[in-house]
């Protein structure tokens, strides 16, 4: 299976450097740095795994950047936009496919000739390119009516472009993507971990694409689901504040039962579980910056004592905050 990104980058960037990180019987990893002076620069880490390519792509365009993909055959891919905006035009699709931060797409076409346009702002995304027989085997193993219908579409060579407006990151998908970005494993363990997380990400996306994002028999009404999404966005912006269930219920017009049960059902975690995840992520970022002591970080994210914070941090992240101490740090 050839790397489908090589032609796209090589056709647009005059300066490219490739560094082979790993090559063994199961995995190959290459880091590519690229630049077009005055236009854009970036890097891509590409890991070939059995049946798929995992790309972690970062680009910093100085102005609108257009890239053409020659598309010499059928392709199927998942795209997860971490930041930035992307507009794609495909030869066999009538309209543009627009993606932005915290959106994802799952798309297939028998002729992947396409043009991709990036806005002049930092762009970061994970792309997964699948080997067609491998993907069909995954879908066939799922054994459901929606996945069987998708396999039939692939067999007939029918383009498949679910509306990206409906495909947003949920709490579980955000957590998987964050774990992939922050992966601390080394060598072969790292590749096993990333392979498992890539398949987990595909499973979460497949649930959404096939319309099975909520468990069967879900009690969440459409109106309540929208309100829960508003609560979710509010928490994302205010997680360092002293939030309470009573306050959230009053502010968003939900009773406590609907909030607790609905939030877990819709986002796969509790309200305070989500707040805790966000606070630990913030703590990790602050510690990595090195401008605050562990005690100051603990206070900043709402812990009264350093010992409780250190225990919670180690449980959430897998290692103690002291890992971030460097020579000369306070």
Same domain, 12 and 124: yes
Q: Of the ranges 54-58, 162-166, 175-179, 239-243, which is most confident?
A: 54-58
Non-local (6+) Cβ contacts of 191 within 8 A are 22, 26, 27, 29, 47, 49
| Residue 326 confidence (pLDDT) | 47
Q: Are residues 127 and 234 in the same domain?
A: no
Residue 213, pLDDT > 70, answer no
The domain spanning residue 67 has which CATH number? 2.60.120.10
Q: For residue 82, is it within any domain?
A: yes
- 233 and 85 within one domain: no
Instruction: Tell me: pLDDT of 192 over 80.
Output: yes
**pLDDT number for residue 177:** 92
Q: With cut-offs at 50, 70 and 90, classify the pLDDT of residue 220.
A: low
Asked if residue 250 and residue 150 are part of one domain, the reply reads no
What is the per-residue pLDDT for 118?
93
Q: Are residues 290 and 161 in the same domain?
A: no
Q: Is residue 324 part of a domain?
A: no
Are residue 155 and residue 236 in the same domain, yes or no?
Answer: no
Instruction: Read off the pLDDT band of 143 (50, 70, 90).
Output: low
| 157 and 20 housed in the same domain | yes
Residue 209 lies in a domain: no
Q: 213 lies in a domain?
A: no
Position 102 in a domain: yes
What pLDDT digit, counting tens, does each position of 234-280 carry? Answer: 999 999 999 999 999 999 998 888 888 888 888 878 899 899 989 98
Q: Kindly report, residue by residue over 83-137, the tens digit of the pLDDT.
A: 999 998 887 677 788 888 888 988 887 776 788 899 999 999 999 999 988 988 8
Q: Which long-range contacts (CB under 8 A, 24 or more apart) does 202-205 make?
A: 202/78, 202/128, 202/138, 204/170, 204/172, 204/173, 204/176, 205/78, 205/104, 205/106, 205/167, 205/173
Residues 123 and 226 in one domain: no
Range of the domain at 94: 6-165
How many C-beta atoms lie closer than 10 Å to residue 244's C-beta? Answer: 11
Q: End-to-end CA distance of the chain: give it in Å, rounded.
A: 50
**Is it the case that residue 42 has pLDDT exceeding 90?**
yes
179 lies in some domain: no
Confirm whether 307 is domain-assigned: yes
- The 10s digit of each residue's pLDDT in 63-84 is 999 988 776 677 889 999 999 9
Query: Any idea which residue has 């590409």 for tokens?
Result: 46
Tens digits of per-residue pLDDT, 270-324? 899 899 989 988 998 898 888 888 999 999 998 888 888 988 888 887 888 887 7
Residues 6+ apart with CB under 8 A from 230: 252
Q: Which of 123, 139, 165 is the last residue of a domain?
A: 165
Query: Given this model, what pLDDT does residue 71 score?
Result: 64
Cα–Cα distance, 92 to 158 (Å, whole number): 9
Q: Is residue 177 part of a domain?
A: no
Residue, of 168 and 11, whose pLDDT is higher? 168
Of 134, 165, 196, the residue at which a domain comes to its end is 165
Q: How many Cβ atoms sit within 10 Å of the Cβ of residue 289?
A: 10
Structural domains counted in the chain: 2
Residues 31 and 153 grouped into a single domain: yes
Q: Are residues 153 and 260 in the same domain?
A: no
Q: What is the pLDDT of residue 53?
A: 96
Q: What is the CATH number of the domain that holds 230?
A: 1.10.10.60
At residue 19, does pLDDT exceed 50? yes
pLDDT of residue 240: 92
Same-domain pairing of 148 and 231: no
Domain end marker among 165, 190, 209: 165
Asked if 229 and 96 sit in the same domain, the reply is no
């Amino acid at each position: 299976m050839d790397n489908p990104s090589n032609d796209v980058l090589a056709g647009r960037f005059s300066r490219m450097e490739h560094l082979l990180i790993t090559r063994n019987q199961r995995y190959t990893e290459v880091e590519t740095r690229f630049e077009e002076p005055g236009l854009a620069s970036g890097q891509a880490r590409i890991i070939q795994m059995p049946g798929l390519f995992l790309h972690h792509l970062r680009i910093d365009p100085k102005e609108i950047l257009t890239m053409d993909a020659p598309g010499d055959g059928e392709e199927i891919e998942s795209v997860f936009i971490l930041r930035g905006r992307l507009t794609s035009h495909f030869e066999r699709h009538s309209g543009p496919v627009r993606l932005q931060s915290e959106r994802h797409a799952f798309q297939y076409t028998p002729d992947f000739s396409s043009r991709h346009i990036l806005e002049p702002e930092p762009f970061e995304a994970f792309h997964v390119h699948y080997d067609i027989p491998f993907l069909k085997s995954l879908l066939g193993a799922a054994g459901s009516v929606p996945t069987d219908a998708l396999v039939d579409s692939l067999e007939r060579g029918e383009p498949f472009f679910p509306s990206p407006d409906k495909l947003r990151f949920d709490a579980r998908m955000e957590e998987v993507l964050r774990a992939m970005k922050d992966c601390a494993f080394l060598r072969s363990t790292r590749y096993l971990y990333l392979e498992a997380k890539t398949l987990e990400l595909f499973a979460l996306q497949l649930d959404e694409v096939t319309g099975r994002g909520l468990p069967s028999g879900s009690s969440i009404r459409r109106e309540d689901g929208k309100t829960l999404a508003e609560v979710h966005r509010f928490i994302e912006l205010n997680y360092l504040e002293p939030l309470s269930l009573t306050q959230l219920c009053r502010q968003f017009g939900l009773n406590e039962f609907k909030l607790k049960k609905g939030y877990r059902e819709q986002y796969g975690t509790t309200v305070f579980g989500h707040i805790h995840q966000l606070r630990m992520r913030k703590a990790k970022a602050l510690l990595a910056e090195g401008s605050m002591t562990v005690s100051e970080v603990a206070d900043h994210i709402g812990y009264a004592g350093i010992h409780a914070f250190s225990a919670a941090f180690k449980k959430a992240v897998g290692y103690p905050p002291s890992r971030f101490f460097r020579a000369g740090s306070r």
